[in-house]
Structure 1
Amino acid sequence: MAIRAHGAEVGMSQVAAQARTSKTVVYRHFADKNDLYLAVCDWVAAVLVGQLQSAMRDASDDPRQTLVSGIDAYLGLIERDPEVYRYVMRPPKLDRPEGEDPVSDLCTVIGDHIAEIISTELRRQNRDTAPALTWGHALVGMVRAAGDQWLANRPDLEREVLADQLADLAWSGLARTVTPSAASSAS
């Protein structure tokens, strides 16, 4: 992929060269750079949501481990494909229709998915599910911000350690609200 080879500021000429074709052929598939950007965003969204669902489904019945697995799946994408992540999260200046923001859309999809997981656990405990949407989106924002910082500075911090640190922070609040012991002690 040209983005991996040339970085987040890749141009259509570089895309064509990487594909071993002409810009004319590239423009048959993508109307412009905006169209290419949207296609890459769609691809990243599908990959990331699939990885998150798989990681969280494969996690044990331990809710904290499910949280760690989800965070680690997101950070794994950053680690494996940093240029693609940069390209998607820091889009080039493009002409986009008002309100069209694929990054916000992706964060919304992930936040809603996490909220549903939290809501399911709260319902299982006969608890109020109203906070689940707020918590799901807050978790996405926290992980995204920490992931961006990690990518930008590339400290000698291993992905698994960062995932565990973020899970520790999030779990400090969630454990009091979504675990069975919290429900019984709150009564």
Structure 2
Amino acid sequence: MHDNDRRPGQEARPKRADARRNEDTLLDAAAAIFVASGVEAPVRDIAAKAGVGTATIYRHFPTRADLIIAVYRHQVEACAEAGPALLEAGPTPYAALGHWIDRFVDFLVTKHGLAAVLRSDSAGFETLHAYFLDRLVPVCARLLDAAAAAGEIRSDIDAYELMRGVGNLCIGADSDTRYDARRLVGLLVAGLR
């Protein structure tokens, strides 16, 4: 059967799912390289980690800014989706909150590098930041509400305020080997009890 012989919609879904998986693999690889080497890392390093050619990356993301924005959005979505999954997995809402905050910290380490590059386009950066807040504050709020309802933490904790505090603790952590932001974030989360 030739492509022209195919009825509309036939085999379209598997290709889209494959394309999505390939893009996810590429974005995961880019995020890992960005964490290890910074957002100016060579595209060939990202391609090697993803197991694709550099042309594939440029076909999906013609500019470095396109790739950076896609990584940012991909990581926001992964962090947003992790919240409900962790809450369901347990063992307690407080444990789920702690695991989610760990993922959030991982995201923030990458985000700070991404944000530095994106700040040159202030309108674009503001749009991405609003997207970040719209997707992640409700996830954090749900985790906090569940932990408070279970009697594991105080009930007067605002999700935005907690996320802002965690974010502030992460600033500069990637450039100062004497500073362990993850340890301090752990102390903050322990203080929610």
Query: TM tier, shorter chain?
Result: 0.5 to 0.7
1:167 paired to 2:164: no
Give me the whole-angstrom Cα distance separating, in 2, the residues matched to 1:3 and 1:122: 36
Which sections of structure 2, spanning at least 5 residues, go unmatched? 1-29
- TM (normalized to structure 2)? 0.58
Contact 1:52 1:73 in 2 (8 A): no
Greater mean deviation of Cα atoms: 37-46 or 94-103: 94-103
Deviation at residue 31 of structure 1 after TM alignment: 3.6
Q: Greater RCO between the two (CA within 8 Å, min separation 6)?
A: 1
1:136 paired to 2:146: no
**Number of residue pairs aligned between Structure 1 and Structure 2:** 155
Q: Identity over aligned residues, as a percent?
A: 16
Deviation at residue 67 of structure 1 after TM alignment: 3.3
Q: Cα deviation per residue 1:56-107 (whole Å; 9 max; x = unaligned)? A: 433333x5434323322323456xxx5x444334334554755753234223
Deviation at residue 30 of structure 1 after TM alignment: 1.8
Q: 1:150 to 1:25 in 2, by over 3 A?
A: closer
Q: 1:72 to 1:95 in 2, by over 3 A?
A: closer
Give me the whole-angstrom Cα distance separating, in 2, the residues matched to 1:52 and 1:155: 30
Question: Root-mean-square deviation (CA), in Å?
Answer: 3.8
SS at match of 1:155: coil
1:67 paired to 2:115: no
SS at match of 1:101: helix
Give me the whole-angstrom Cα distance separating, in 2, the residues matched to 1:35 and 1:151: 24
Task: Trace 1:16-27 onto structure 2 (pairs within 5 A).
Answer: 16=44, 18-19=46-47, 21=53, 26-27=57-58
SS at match of 2:39: coil
Give me the whole-angstrom Cα distance separating, in 1, the residues matched to 2:43 and 2:184: 33
- TM (normalized to structure 1)? 0.59
